[in-house]
Structure 1
Amino acid sequence: MSDAPVISVRGEVVLEAQPELALLSVHVQSREDERRTALDRLVERNQRALDLIRSYGEAVERVETGGLSISPVLRQRRREGEIRGYQGTAWIKVTVVDFTVLGELVTRLGDMERTFVHGPQWDLRRDSEVYARAARQAAQEAVARARSYAEALGARLTGLIELADSGLIRDDHRGAAPLMATLAGEVSRGVPPSEPEPITLEPETQYVRSSVEARFTVTPPDLDG
């Protein structure tokens, strides 16, 4: 085992980056007296929402159904089990990559009958180069810090014993409230609805943190200097 002196350091870096993805959560609902009618309405509204989303082509990278439910609505303050209607909900998860259409898509979805839009939630891709860049810079910071300590002691680095990745962390600012919600009956009857004005959405800066722990061997320090 070497008797060379050892310096242990931590290298840390925080990078700012623009988001690469915008995630929308779209909930389409129906509420009718009869179960079948509620289901039929839900199917119609869900398909209408999907058709609108897919009309944006490559601007939308992914469309997924997160779940679907049809459940009875019970009367309150009445005998248990009395049903007053049925409610259906379909959950659509949307990943948008072209932010120039995002505001328009959100307002058009929110303008649909009994459709609720949550988001956007800004994100980076799992394989984003920002993560690799943060890891490299954290390692470079560890070397620079160790070299600075060694120089302060009149020594110099001679070798690397260990480099451990403490982890990559992206600050999470999710949990946004519903951006907009439009309920049935809000469009005037007999008047053709006009397209809503697109809302302006500013992408939220993403913060990626990376840290490494490293141990270096050094020459004997000059403690008499």
Structure 2
Amino acid sequence: MAEVVTRGVGRAERTADRAEVQVGFETTGSTRNEAVDALGTRVADVEAALRAPGVEVRSRQLTVHDNWDGRRRSGSRAAQNYVVRVDDVDRLDELLAALVAAEPSWLSGPNWQLKDDSDAVREAQRGAVADARRRAEGYVEALGARLGPLHRLTDGDAEVWAADNARTMAAYGGGAPGAAPEMGRLNLDAQRITVTVRCTAAWSLLD
């Protein structure tokens, strides 16, 4: 039996309700213990901020190593890197202010996410199937035939895209050391997330 095979794309938008931030702190010392002690002091206030409601530390990684100048040991370095999830986005500004005030070595985020994308995926799936059917109907009409039943439906890869997702705290350069930045200067409102679904459909082609 003749058939027509078409691809469809469906999209659904939702406002992000979760954010993820990555941040790292580094300290140095003449010995490893001295570097680690300095790091503990550096992140003490950070650890307190990370215990706030709606904030979850997804990863906490410590590294300690010696610095070398050629073959000569020149002190030690300690670093702690965090991956932090914020489920209460209303607390994001407060958290970022605390992190920046602690003068991290680097900070990346927020990366916007959805806590549950199932509803958006279903909406995008409906759109993808409808798009595939519209394309099939167009081909059938061009052939002067009729569109028959659906034979096969293959799910493509679902993709989640966050509009304007790349953010950096480098914009906070300047200002007094240790002073909390004015978070309102950056647009840290929750971004719109686009969920994209693709499918391939095969329809029977009737005379």
Could you tell me the TM-score, scaled by structure 2's length? 0.81
Identical positions, percent: 25
- Following superposition, the deviation at residue 10 of structure 1 comes to 1.2
1:85-141 per-position Cα deviation (integer Å, ceiling 9, x unaligned):
211100111111222221221011110155542211122346442122212220122
In structure 2, distance between residues paired with 1:41 and 1:181? 24
Stretches of structure 1 that go unaligned for 5 or more consecutive residues are 188-192, 221-225
CA shift for structure 1 position 13: 2.1
Of 168, 176, 186, 2:177 maps to 186
The Cα shift of 1:15 comes to 3.0
2:183 is matched with which residue: 193, 198, 211? Answer: 198
Which residue does 2:197 correspond to in 1?
210
Matches within 5 A, 1:61-140: 62-75=56-69, 80-114=70-104, 116-125=106-115, 127-140=117-130
Cα separation, 2, equivalents of 1:42 and 1:213: 54
| Structure-2 separation of matches of 1:104 and 1:74 | 38
When you count helix as a share of all residues, which structure comes out higher? 2
Matching residue of 1:223: none
Looking at structure 2, the residues matched to 33 and 22 of structure 1 have their Cα atoms a distance apart, in angstroms, of 37
Q: How many residues align?
A: 203
* Equivalent-residue separation in structure 2 for 1:212 and 1:144 (angstroms): 13
Secondary structure at the counterpart of residue 88 of structure 2: coil
Residue 37 of structure 2 aligns to a residue in which SS? helix
Q: Deviations over 1:11-35 (max 9, x none)?
A: 1123333223211012122212222
1:26 alignment counterpart: 23
In 2: Cα distance, 1:114 partner to 1:165 partner: 43
Match of 1:9 among 6, 30, 43: 6
Q: Structure 2: which amino acid aligns with 1:210?
A: V
Q: Secondary structure at the match of 1:65?
A: strand
Q: Determine if contact 2:8/2:128 at 8 Å carries over to the other structure.
A: yes
Q: Which runs of 5+ in 2 are unaligned?
A: none
CA RMSD in angstroms, aligned pairs only: 2.8
Return the offset for 1:212.
Answer: 0.9
- Counterpart amino acid of residue 14 in structure 1: R
| CA radius of gyration, larger in | 1
SS in 2 for 1:146: helix
1:155–1:93 Cα change, 3 Å: same
